[in-house]
A and B are shown apart, each in its own frame.
Chain A
């Protein structure tokens, strides 16, 4: 197992944004109820709205941590990673291999053109060298999934991730892609958003070809275009993303949608352990669970 998960602690970014979020989104998170901790109830909760009438997506979404270690923590009271009891037959090697198999289980995967089938296989098998995310580079969009925290104003939304402290600032005032930024090639691309009814639609272009669509070797080119759709209903956030790359894919690929609950834990933090570069040259296995 690559020694990537070394310490478990709050980051500078999380601390910095924490103060900002205290003022901008606590009201939306609490939905007026001020629950003490954990995901909020989803039934019969009105969707909070901003003064301009759009749904307010602000808040911490999903199990965004906080509140100190609990029974579910992967670390013991001394801060050491627990190795026993979380794996099949208590064996960490089983855990590594089972993870590798689980993450490729499918059945929803991008459909590549035939000439790229072997390349996907090669990238996957040799992922400990080929996968830039394995070497601490950003996972990119849409691989890094939905944000764990959203801040929303009338002009833009800010997505925060527990993925190498990444964040995205996305204009939602109807502007088109910036002609320069959208031609640039970056890990997160150039994003612009607009509202379709109560759904925030984010259009992302301008990617580099370093990131993957998914863990099992799902490479893409710099022609990638991603459409993300975020819909809040009460205290539930639905995240959908579709990736299209006509150079290599036979058809657009819709990722499995994610449904996240609003996390009303007032001590919620974005805890993001540092990524430690793997020493690929000296790895003796291609396993990467």
Chain B
């Protein structure tokens, strides 16, 4: 083990303060007792237990050290009323930025294969022909793409932690719900957490849209020779206004904070600045 002093310094600076507070005196484990009491649990307890169940809390200090995630899968997606077969879905997330790249290869009902690479990096969004290549600005869609980051299980915990006192917890029938706003993108999320502290459903309201994602079959899908103890759902289903838009089965993950970058291309930054100036 070679945990360097530099790494420790970075961790100390960047670990989510609220999370650290939540950890104090708790000592909970991923196998912590289900919340069977009818009493509503405290927010910090809910966040700690969810983070712990997802494998986010690392080292003896139990700090959230999950910065990046990659995942791959196959399934189906709905576009313009048509069902596409997804033959490769590669998601790369960097929570630090925050940024995300979704690289999809899909087959249209007419048999034509398409590749779409959709990227967001903070306030900038663009499309690529392959990762990092031929960027084209995608105006007005950055917040919708950022929402996808914070709807991921680990993203929910981070966003709810960042919401602080604006987050609320409710408990009923063995199910805990966590509601919080993400002011920066104008969305409100409601996450449903089961008795094992896993996030089962996330409902997001943004503008007039209601987006719901359900997660099931959590596990460490890094492969037997690369286990990290970070839990990720095997099955992801997303609905928009009641209609299923994505049904994904995850085949592999890399949850060891893999290399995930999305530098904002010059033309995208320029287009973003121009649009900003025009809107003033």
Contact = CB atoms under 8 A, between A and B. Distances in A.
Interface in B236-280: 254, 256-259, 261, 263
Given A256-B9, A287-B226, 17 more contacts: A95-B1, A98-B65, A99-B2, A101-B66, A103-B3, A103-B4, A106-B68, A107-B14, A107-B96, A112-B259, A117-B132, A121-B70, A121-B258, A145-B4, A216-B259, A256-B10, A286-B225
Nearest to A62: B5
Given A86-B60, A117-B131, A256-B9, A106 B67 contact: yes
Main secondary structure of the interface of A (DSSP, over half): loop
A99 B66 CA distance: 12
Q: Which of A62, A86, A96, A117 is most buried by chain B, counting CB atoms within 10 A of its CB?
A: A117
Contact of A97 (B29, B70, B228, B258): B228
A99 B3 contact: yes
B59 interface: yes
B256 A104 contact: yes
Contacts of A282: none
A87 to B, nearest CB: 6
B261 A1 contact: no
Interface of A: 1, 62, 86-89, 94-109, 111-115, 117, 120-121, 124-125, 145, 215-217, 250, 255-256, 258, 284-287, 289
24 contacts: A1-B1, A88-B58, A88-B60, A101-B256, A102-B7, A103-B7, A104-B257, A105-B11, A105-B67, A106-B67, A107-B10, A107-B96, A108-B10, A115-B132, A117-B131, A117-B261, A125-B256, A125-B258, A216-B257, A255-B6, A256-B10, A258-B6, A285-B226, A286-B225
A258 B14 contact: no
A286 to B, nearest CB: 5
Contact of B261 (A111, A115, A216, A256): A111
A54 B257 CA distance: 43
Nearest to B66: A101
Interface residues of B, number: 41
A248 to B, nearest CB: 13
A105 B2 contact: no
B201 interface: no
A120 B1 contact: no
Nearest to B59: A98
B133 interface: yes
A114 B132 contact: yes
A137 to B, nearest CB: 15
Contacts of A109: 259, 261
B60 A285 contact: no
A82 to B, nearest CB: 12
B227 interface: yes
Contacts of A86: 60
A217 B259 contact: yes
A197 B5 CA distance: 28
A95 B60 CA distance: 8
Given A99-B1, A105-B14, A109-B259, A89 B29 contact: yes
A286 B10 CA distance: 25
Given A87-B60, A88-B59, A256-B9, A94 B254 contact: no
